[in-house]
Structure 1
């Protein structure tokens, strides 16, 4: 065959490769066979490349196996074909068989490992390549830097950066973008910004990488400004760029400063809407990936109406689309809609995946629909660790600790190994139930899986031992932790507080400050609780100054703890002055101030504050009514208390709780209005609770009303025959009236029925705080 015919075939083959024309290429292959050119190495190499581009790997391998004289290009062609098809096992075997390897061979393998997610193997191959004296190209370093970004290995990335500078390829666009992306993923944002500035002509990849890095490091304002710059400089904005910036808008942060969370979320949503408009203007709003990003943005900004409109214009919603909607409804406490969407998802033929179940579980946990969550969990064929953690967390949050521990045991029976989150949840349940023995078993599990030195688990262990009264073991765990975060310090200080070891809590607070660990609102809350318990008003005042200095004075948790501390120390005026200084007050702060007035016998002030709260637009809750009714009871404001009690259902559309009935019956009893108290008690829905009958019986003792006292005592004995309270109180009433025979008969009946009375104690502690306290016991 002449040269012209040879080059005609070669050129025609190139066209088939470029157009991926499989049919034409096969016809050309047949002609090559007929004309006796099947032994030509160059044409065979091009045929291997052709079949690879058409995804016909078996045909490419068949051609390779028939090449009589293979050169380096033959080997690289088939290696590239195997790597492109993600057939790494065969590619690795072929790589080892190669008689000769060049940079292209190594690049193929390194790039393939990165694409398949084995970034560590890619770095290993790169290290061997360098040790063999081969010089990397811009393709090599681009792949290796990508692997560094996946592994968050900034040190290895810096070495590659240094090598790129040394051999002069740092200005290459591929290398420059890879450097920028690596620093951004590793959250070294200053280095990423410098890498961006070093680029001669940044493109859409450069901008998108930097915007993503800025968003990940919460530099939201800078990310939005970078996107505006991208738009102004007419850089090509594609669906990937828009999806990246929409992800930032989905965080609910606007990039502004000094804004409330509500305003911040509103501006984030507005920015997202502007991006949505831009996508329509650019004509790429139908891109499937972009549509899912829009769904996610609207759902996370609590605009489910807009999310629904986008969802319904999707031609075929993917599993991701359904998952975003289910998660969005869950985040916005719309559990009914979340359940409906999951049912519709299954009816449409889209099978729920692990993310679907986890989103549904999270929705159930957030809305407190834990029974529905358990039904969802039971549908899962093989729950993952994340799913176990979600259902365990749900039961733990509603304080159903027994169910939490039972589920954990079932998880162990299924051979699902726990992680730090699992152990922390279970330790919280053990602490909630004060199950020290169970907590010790969990401690043993943490040792088995080497989580005992984890700060998260360590904090849970400290809390568990503290709640069980074993402060020596809690301190042992604390002292053995290699690193301590604020949660660990708070746990040990709270442990001292709940065990009435307030001085030790103060000592550890000073130790924490000495180690340059900044206290947070929970640290101060614990210390103020200690000061309130011990009536340390002067020390509480010192912490008040530190709170102001550290900027926590407007925190609701700290503010309510300060009010409680001042009130328990008897400084009601100081508490009110602090209360009035708060720029915004939520229900917790109002309740704390009312409760403080009640504790100090300032009933009228508590009632005035309650009315002021209503006038100011505050919404009372169950605790509010307990505080104000308790204040009315102890200050003799019975009529005012009755009006407030009646307003619970008439004005505030709430059902009175047992605590509310207890407070108002106590108020009526103190005012000797026992008949009214008895009538109200008989009308209430929870009349079988012994506490409320004990309150009524105690009032009868004060006012020596034998008639009502007998009824109350009879009811108490019916509810619990072994309760000594009705015997003792009724006998005391008889004794105070001089009815000794009846009092003696009651005490004899107690002995006959073997009803015991708990002995009383009086405790006198010396001012020097030593342990030589005197205890006297009376029966």
Structure 2
């Protein structure tokens, strides 16, 4: 009796040590147990193992476990729980495999450990083994298994677990219900998730947050905001849910863009700043995670002023805070501010990490500063795949395609395994350079890496073979893709159009529609370009009808293509009618309409439209001035053209380039105002552009200005002695003036330079 009482006192003392993690006191009790020969008491030794496990001394716990003279199932559970909490799956499974007796707790521990550590398949296998051994699942079992099903997007297995929950009466359990919500959302089965949510007898923060995050992933932003509204109404809000709804605001991507939520009686408006107000009201503005979510929301919506105010007033910042700020400025192409944030980050005691360098790299690349970007990239000890993709994208987007290819080779030498993004970027660079051999080598690497059927990569392959004129190979790749997406169709449409196979482009477009594939802006722009090239207004109008039907008529990209199509088909009035009804015009749209007037000889209308553009506060660019100056040149509006040309730098801060000088010289030359031409030539910076001199030579020939024609021809000889055009133009001019000796001199010069004129031929 005394022995039992003593053991009871020791057990109570050990429980106190376990509750307070008092390891040193536990050591004294262990010594007492050994001294009093009570080590054979399995119950006491189990408590010791539990104590050491809770104090993080798993090695000591395992030593005790191995030395135990008698073990029971609770001994195994104690050490198994310790390994599972440490995520030491090898030792956990070794102990589990040694168990001669198991119960639901044993299975729950191992299933939970597998699921939590990403071994989803192992978790499901263990679950089915548990079922075969006749054990009934508990709410812990189902929660772990449902998490594994969600991670694997294994909907059928998830539904089977749902059925098991109903069978054992756990479908109303909040723990299981929340796991079901998460599983259905991850499997993109929104309707099932909504049904589970409605059937739950009660909800908590986890329920609402799971629904909200799932709806965001499904891009159902309005419904996600509606879920937050309901959450707010019932008063179940915590810092985690606030962070989640701020993620919804980030997803909307438009600063101060309100999302309307239809309630029972009237509409409510919610956006990021309102959520910020709720954060302050509920006292969550001291929570670092919530503040970082606010920063992320403001940065993604482009409101860096708000982000600056917030970060300057935060009581606590982290490396994440500064990384978000750097990424935000990078998105706005503001490299200087991004660098400033990195310096402030260091001053706050945080060393830049891998994410910092990737964000800085992206900021430099987006700002076009590839030199600094490369310097940052080279300073990274071991750049990861994201960093490689960022620098490769930067070179490719800024048209440094040769450098991109060289970097890709270096990446291979360093044994960094490329992904679909890497392959797509490098294929784009190869296509831009018409580097067919390089494309073939990458194609071989894709076959080896088993990426050749990837939709994203297949589009890049179609692009390079199309641009290199290898359409049969492009078609072969297109036909090999197991499941088409619209990007592959667009790549094939673009390839056919690029090779002037307009009829085949239309046929493929019709096939695309017949297969139920919805065209995108790019699809419509490609087929509209075919209509323009074929001068086919009837087909263009059919495409226009389809565009209206599918709701793309307000898209600036598609609208610009429609304007170009109507103008090239000669229907300038139809083009202007559509232009006037467009709700969202950008600079490109205005340029296209002005250019359309220029192409069709409507110079005054082009000038009037240009003036309307200025009055509408739309900023003109270089292309705008080329279009309006071309219109002035073709319509004889010389003085108007000069006035617009002179306003470029003075009023709009745009430095004229060779295209602008060419237009003005053409305009003055057509009018025979050669004194002004000579003055303009003297001050223009682009004296090595052959087009300028060719235009001047043509004008001199029309007006028989021999001296200036001779100078223009000499400049052309200097720039390209083997080009026969200036010799022919000058010789023809001399012959029309009966200056045969000069003709003979020009012919002699051609012989001296071994310049031969290619004979003309008819296309008819």
| TM-score normalised by L of structure 1 | 0.93
Distance (Å, rounded) in 2 between the aligned partners of 1:740 and 1:250: 76
Distance (Å, rounded) in 1 between the aligned partners of 2:375 and 2:121: 40
Change (3 A) 1:527 1:271: closer
Which residue in the other structure is 1:352 paired with? Answer: 352
State the shift of 1:283 in Å: 3.0
Which residue in the other structure is 2:319 paired with? Answer: 319
Which residue in the other structure is 2:245 paired with? Answer: 245
Cα offsets for 1:418-461 (capped at 9, x unmatched): 22222221221122112222222222222222222222222112
State the shift of 1:638 in Å: 0.2
Distance (Å, rounded) in 2 between the aligned partners of 1:407 and 1:739: 59
Change (3 A) 1:306 1:578: closer
Is 1:394 matched with 2:387? no
Change (3 A) 1:662 1:411: same
Which residue in the other structure is 1:777 paired with? Answer: none
State the shift of 1:763 in Å: 0.3
Cα offsets for 1:656-706 (capped at 9, x unmatched): 122111111111111111121121011012222222122212211111111
Which residue in the other structure is 2:150 paired with? Answer: 149
| Alpha-carbon contact 1:579-1:593 (below 8 Å) kept | yes
Cα offsets for 1:466-485 (capped at 9, x unmatched): 21122222222222222211
Distance (Å, rounded) in 1 between the aligned partners of 2:323 and 2:258: 22
| Alpha-carbon contact 2:107-2:126 (below 8 Å) kept | yes
State the shift of 1:511 in Å: 0.9
Cα offsets for 1:175-210 (capped at 9, x unmatched): 111111111222222211211122222122212211
| Alpha-carbon contact 1:560-1:589 (below 8 Å) kept | yes
| Alpha-carbon contact 2:257-2:271 (below 8 Å) kept | no
Q: How many residues align?
A: 756
Which residue in the other structure is 1:203 paired with? Answer: 204
Is 1:94 matched with 2:105? no
Indicate the larger mover: 603-612 or 264-273.
264-273
Change (3 A) 1:460 1:761: farther
Is 1:332 matched with 2:325? no
Which residue in the other structure is 1:25 paired with? Answer: 26
Distance (Å, rounded) in 2 between the aligned partners of 1:73 and 1:393: 57
| Alpha-carbon contact 1:252-1:300 (below 8 Å) kept | no
Change (3 A) 1:313 1:617: closer
Partner SS, residue 686 of structure 2: coil
Which residue in the other structure is 2:74 paired with? Answer: 73
| Alpha-carbon contact 2:111-2:126 (below 8 Å) kept | yes
| Alpha-carbon contact 2:258-2:271 (below 8 Å) kept | no
Which residue in the other structure is 1:131 paired with? Answer: 132
Distance (Å, rounded) in 1 between the aligned partners of 2:96 and 2:303: 53
Indicate the larger mover: 274-283 or 588-597.
274-283
Distance (Å, rounded) in 1 between the aligned partners of 2:756 and 2:243: 72
Change (3 A) 1:278 1:17: farther
Which residue in the other structure is 1:217 paired with? Answer: 218
Which residue in the other structure is 2:636 paired with? Answer: 636
Partner SS, residue 286 of structure 1: coil
State the shift of 1:5 in Å: 4.1
Distance (Å, rounded) in 1 between the aligned partners of 2:567 and 2:313: 59
Which residue in the other structure is 2:684 paired with? Answer: 684
State the shift of 1:169 in Å: 1.9
State the shift of 1:27 in Å: 3.6
Partner SS, residue 562 of structure 2: helix
Which residue in the other structure is 2:106 paired with? Answer: 105
Change (3 A) 1:545 1:633: same
Distance (Å, rounded) in 2 between the aligned partners of 1:684 and 1:400: 28
Is 1:55 matched with 2:56? yes
Is 1:303 matched with 2:303? yes
| Alpha-carbon contact 1:252-1:265 (below 8 Å) kept | no
| TM-score normalised by L of structure 2 | 0.95
| Alpha-carbon contact 2:462-2:474 (below 8 Å) kept | yes
State the shift of 1:633 in Å: 0.3
Root mean square deviation, CA, Å? 2.1
| Alpha-carbon contact 1:338-1:363 (below 8 Å) kept | yes
Is 1:9 matched with 2:10? yes
Which residue in the other structure is 1:767 paired with? Answer: none
| Alpha-carbon contact 1:591-1:624 (below 8 Å) kept | yes
Which residue in the other structure is 2:257 paired with? Answer: 264
State the shift of 1:625 in Å: 0.6
State the shift of 1:719 in Å: 2.6
Distance (Å, rounded) in 2 between the aligned partners of 1:210 and 1:622: 49
Partner SS, residue 762 of structure 1: coil
Which residue in the other structure is 1:664 paired with? Answer: 664
State the shift of 1:151 in Å: 2.1
Distance (Å, rounded) in 2 between the aligned partners of 1:561 and 1:361: 35
State the shift of 1:270 in Å: 6.5
Distance (Å, rounded) in 1 between the aligned partners of 2:222 and 2:511: 38
Distance (Å, rounded) in 2 between the aligned partners of 1:378 and 1:484: 39
Distance (Å, rounded) in 2 between the aligned partners of 1:278 and 1:60: 48
State the shift of 1:40 in Å: 1.4
Which residue in the other structure is 1:773 paired with? Answer: none
| Alpha-carbon contact 1:466-1:474 (below 8 Å) kept | yes
| Alpha-carbon contact 2:669-2:700 (below 8 Å) kept | yes
| Alpha-carbon contact 1:461-1:474 (below 8 Å) kept | yes
Partner SS, residue 685 of structure 1: coil
1:464-543 correspondence to structure 2 within 5 Å? 464-543=464-543
1:349-748 correspondence to structure 2 within 5 Å? 350-748=350-748
Cα offsets for 1:147-171 (capped at 9, x unmatched): 1222222222111111111222222
Is 1:278 matched with 2:278? yes
Indicate the larger mover: 390-399 or 164-173.
164-173
State the shift of 1:734 in Å: 1.3
Which residue in the other structure is 1:114 paired with? Answer: 115
| Alpha-carbon contact 1:265-1:301 (below 8 Å) kept | no
Cα offsets for 1:611-663 (capped at 9, x unmatched): 12112222211111100100000111000000000111111121112211111
Partner SS, residue 760 of structure 1: coil
State the shift of 1:344 in Å: 4.3
State the shift of 1:321 in Å: 2.3
Indicate the larger mover: 279-288 or 373-382.
279-288
| Alpha-carbon contact 1:48-1:77 (below 8 Å) kept | yes
Change (3 A) 1:350 1:262: closer
Partner SS, residue 763 of structure 2: strand
State the shift of 1:336 in Å: 0.9
Which residue in the other structure is 1:257 paired with? Answer: none
Cα offsets for 1:743-770 (capped at 9, x unmatched): 1111111111112323333201xxxxxx
State the shift of 1:243 in Å: 1.3
Which residue in the other structure is 2:264 paired with? Answer: none
State the shift of 1:143 in Å: 0.9
Distance (Å, rounded) in 2 between the aligned partners of 1:57 and 1:383: 36
Partner SS, residue 734 of structure 2: helix
| Alpha-carbon contact 2:595-2:631 (below 8 Å) kept | yes
Partner SS, residue 364 of structure 1: helix
| Alpha-carbon contact 1:345-1:351 (below 8 Å) kept | yes
Distance (Å, rounded) in 2 between the aligned partners of 1:232 and 1:31: 59
| Alpha-carbon contact 1:486-1:518 (below 8 Å) kept | yes
Distance (Å, rounded) in 1 between the aligned partners of 2:752 and 2:224: 81
